[in-house]
Structure 1
């Protein structure tokens, strides 16, 4: 009990690698120093019995109690040893901002890939646990993921992550133009409203269409989804325009994963990543609100009133 859950999970993964004979000399030395040399498969399974039920219960907890207007999703690729072979697997992760403005890790799942089927299974599972009231989903532009979002969150708005989008555009821009174009793209994304953003877009397209045709094609095609957040009241935009919050969380996971390099089993992946996410979730629950939701719900009421008035006037 000297170690917190994520440290226990990391040690268990190292012990499992040693017992299965797939560890390096360095990992053996670290493990023996921390855990002694007297451990076996049965020691590991006994220790897992203490940790796994806690992580499983947290990762499958009901989500019905509060609505989650904002959901941010991302995936990270890990390597897992399965049936004697090393395979790439995707860890699907969702974070929600609830009606009170607090962040929660909604859950994680290890999928075979980032396909539409994997994401669909993940979203179905979140909804079965009670996820509801989703108005905006933020993610990278991955075709399987976007299709699954459209299928499972009908009526919600999709916000394309501006960081990834900007990277996609600049990757297709000649090096000499990247710095100036970056500044102009920032101005578009930080525009006060969609109308101004479109005006700035047209100026950029006119200026760079011949100099960076591929980049302008990407910009024009993805523009509307990348500025979806501009429809929201101003205080909500900065924190909902990218998946950066989740990327930072993934970086924390990567720091531990680099020690292991290849997870000895799927279970060890869920155990370690789940423990890290659970610890972050507990910090968020006892920390400050991420967003003050008062203005958001007032804005929503106003919109719904306007649309009702419109229906009445049409009749």
Structure 2
């Protein structure tokens, strides 16, 4: 890894990020004369000004609690003292690792990922209707309404797709934190645009390269792409001002004066 990249990956970070998104993409790397699939994990923070900042990247072949614990411990050692909300896919060991290092952080599953995973089980002719019914769950006004809508979903679809309601129930404690928040904050944590647009750019790079000769090569290419993309991050994320006001009330005891 070049000195510039190493310096970027270990640079000091801000003490507080109200929102942190965790996402990743698959890359192909040549290793021991064969091609293996690895995951490039991205941790994107939104700072108090509402600006996006990629906190770091990590390449791994086998993730689990130990791997994620090392990632969030690294962020802590680089200066991060608090995160209000972490929005993520439900990767094994990830929610638990966040809560171990930052015990006051609320973990919120990304609804886009959850819906996308649910639709894998669904035939094309039912996809639109199922997606609409799932929206009724996560866009409900209250947790109670969401539970009722999940029950209605199960009654309607369990005969054909029993795994969907079961997977939502299994993850329910990570679905419901959103209902404690106002629409302003829900909008801010729901929108995965913050990280999806970055992913799109990086996926283009992986398509162009197809196979990387090493982890170091992949990391350097992705680092250069991130530097290009982040130059456009000059504006706060959408609806940031009202969301920040809500954060100040919701997390008054942890909000900087």
Scaled by the length of structure 2, what TM-score is found?
Answer: 0.86
User: Which of residues 266, 269, 273 is equivalent to 2:222?
Assistant: 273
Q: CA deviation at 1:129?
A: 0.5
Residues 118 and 242 of structure 1, relative CA distance in 2, 3 Å threshold: farther
Shift of 1:77: 2.0
C-alpha distance after superposition, 1:13-38 (max 9, x if no partner): xxxxxxxxxxxxxxxxxxxxxxxxxx
Deviation, structure 1 residue 73? 0.6
- Is 1:135 matched up with 2:84? yes
In structure 2, how many angstroms separate the alpha carbons of the residues matched to 1:203 and 1:69? 34
* One of 124, 146, 154 as aligned partner of 2:103: 154
Counterpart for residue 79 of structure 1: 28
Q: CA RMSD in A?
A: 2.3
Structure 2 residues without counterparts, runs of 5 or longer: none
CA offset at residue 216 of structure 1? Answer: 2.1
Q: Which residue of 1 aligns with 2:12?
A: 62
Q: Deviations over 1:227-252 (max 9, x none)?
A: 32222221121231264532331221
Would you say 1:245 and 2:201 are equivalent positions? no
Change (3 A) 1:136 1:265: same
How far residue 128 of structure 1 moved from its aligned partner, in angstroms, is: 0.9
Matched position secondary structure for 1:172: coil
Call closer, same or farther: CA 1:208–1:105 in 2, change over 3 Å.
same
Secondary structure at 1:58 match in 2: helix
Cα distance in 2 for partners of 1:218, 1:295 equals 31
2:82 touches 2:102 (CA, 8 Å); kept in 1? Answer: no
Query: Using the alignment, how far apart are the partners of 2:27 and 2:53 within structure 1?
Result: 23
Give per-residue Cα distances to partners, 1:55-104, cap 9 Å, x unaligned: 332222101x4411211011222122234433332212100111222111
Provide, for residues 100-148 of structure 1, a one-character-per-residue CA deviation record: whole Å limited to 9, x for no partner: 2211110112223233322222222111101121121111112232332
Q: Which has the higher helix share?
A: 1
Deviations, residues 123-177 of structure 1 (Å, cap 9, x unaligned): 2211110112112111111223233223323221111111121123233345554
**Aligned equivalents of 1:59, 1:102: Cα separation in 2:** 18
> Quick one: distance in 1 between partners of 2:33 and 2:141?
55
> Which residue of the partner structure matches residue 249 of structure 2?
298
Change (3 A) 1:211 1:70: same
Provide the residue aligned with 1:106 in structure 2. Answer: 55
Q: For 2:165 and 2:213, how far apart are their aligned partners in 1?
A: 45
**1:199 alignment partner in structure 2:** 148
- Structure with greater Cα Rg: 1
Q: Secondary structure at the match of 2:247?
A: helix
1:260 matched to 2:213: no
Structure 1 residues 207 and 90: CA distance shift in structure 2, 3 A: closer
The aligned counterpart of 2:236 is 289
What's the secondary structure of 1:227's corresponding residue? helix
| In 1, Cα distance between equivalents of 2:18 and 2:206 | 31
Given that 2:52 and 2:194 are in contact with CA atoms closer than 8 Å, whether structure 1 keeps it comes out as: no
Unaligned ranges ≥5, structure 1: 1-47, 305-315
Distance 2:40 2:7 in 1: 18
Q: Distance in 1 between matches of 2:82 and 2:235?
A: 22
Q: How far apart, in 1, do the equivalents of 2:158 and 2:204 lie?
A: 41
1:14 alignment partner in structure 2: none
